[in-house]
Amino acid sequence: MDVILLQDVQTLGAAGDIVKVKPGYARNYLFPKGFALRSSKRNLAVAEEKKRNIEMSSKRIEQANMSLVNKISKIELTFEMQVGDEEKMFGAVTTKDIQTALEEKGIL
């Protein structure tokens, strides 16, 4: 039986893929859990639309991430920390320190 995956299924494929499975597996597992639809013309159109939406949203997210990477790569952060006699720092620079510094610079 051919089914259209609505979500990524680890053993079968990614969302939008058309895969062959045994009818019992489709009826008892994939269909009830909402992981797949029966392969038909109408369902193919629905799956294609969903796949297009996923691709568009992932492109938008990727563009936003690249924009953030470009902003962050141009910034230099300096932290005032206590150091010992041998110029070894006490403590560590934490992710919270970095987040606060980026917020002060207007990045986050």
- Residue-by-residue pLDDT tens, the chain, 108 positions: 999 998 889 999 988 888 999 999 999 999 999 999 998 988 888 888 888 888 899 999 999 999 989 988 888 998 988 888 888 888 899 999 999 998 998 887
Give residues with Cβ within 8 angstroms of 7, minimum separation 6.
15, 34, 35
pTM: 0.55
- List, in sequence order, every residue forming a beta bridge with 37; answer none if it has no partner: 4
Query: How many residues can be counted in the chain?
Result: 108
pLDDT of residue 84: 87
Domains (ranges, CATH) in the chain? Answer: 2-65 (3.40.5.10), 75-108 (no CATH)
Cβ atoms within 10 Å, residue 35: 17
Residue type, 90: F
d(CA 1, CA 24): 9
**What pLDDT was estimated at residue 53?**
87
- In sequence order, the β-bridge partners of residue 83 are 89
DSSP state of 88: P
